[in-house]
Chains A and B, each alone.
Chain A
Amino acid sequence: EVQLVQSGAEVKKPGESLKISCQTSGYPFTNYWIAWVRQMPGKGLEWMGSIYPSDSDTKYSPSFRGQVTVSADKSVNSAYLQWTSLKASDTAVYYCARLRRWPQGYFDFWGQGTLVPVSS
């Protein structure tokens, strides 16, 4: 059974750093791209970036390039999303999702989401 299990909610202050995780199981981790998707409160879905764990090839949305870092660790079948300095506007739920194929792919399995409230 394919599963993507994300790390728990994190309450942060502006300026703090954060790294959230997405642990996968049930399929060959290095064979599929993993993406991160943002959902701000009451809003729609925004693709942030994707990584191919086999070689760490990474693609970013222009809206998020330079704002976050996507990474992966093959040894623990996990992907990560990282900020060096959070802003209040980063408050959102962040989902990881598996891409069924690349580049013309859709998201067939999703993590449960990680809530990141950023407030002073």
Chain B
Amino acid sequence: DIQMTQSPSTLSASIGDRVAITCRASQSISTWLAWYQQKPGKAPQLLIYEASTLESGVPSRFSGTGSGTEFSLTITSLQPDDFATYFCQQYHSFFYTFGQGTKLDIK
């Protein structure tokens, strides 16, 4: 299995801040990486795929970068709706695996 490790596990920030979440793969996955947002009691929602392609309807303050084994999700100018948990997912192999999640909460 390809292991995905996110950091940090928890991130505290304020409205208007810029934050970045990192996801590392245990082996190269090219750009076969997606990011999801999950709010309490809700299903995850796709934000970004192919490491940097924004899903339709997702605000442009979300962006993704990276390739190989290191990736990041950046949110510029945090909005109240952005406080949630974020997961990365690799799809280099169809034995899909997710990171353990990063909870973004209000400072």
Residue numbers of A with Cβ under 8 A of B are 35, 44-47, 50, 59, 61-62, 95, 97, 100, 102-108, 110-113
Number of interface residues of B (CB under 8 A): 24
Interface residues of chain B, those whose CB is within 8 Å of chain A, are 1, 32, 34, 36, 42-46, 49, 55, 87, 89, 91-101
A-B contact pairs, 17 of them (CB 8 A): A45-B98, A47-B95, A47-B96, A47-B97, A50-B94, A59-B94, A95-B44, A103-B93, A104-B32, A104-B91, A104-B94, A106-B89, A107-B36, A107-B46, A108-B55, A110-B43, A113-B43
CA distance A46 to B44 in the complex (A): 12
In the complex formed, the residue of A with least CB distance to B48 is: A106
Cα(A45)–Cα(B34), bound, Å: 13
Number of A-B residue pairs, CB cutoff 8 Å, is 57
Q: What is the CA–CA distance of A61 and B97 in the complex, to the nearest angstrom?
A: 10
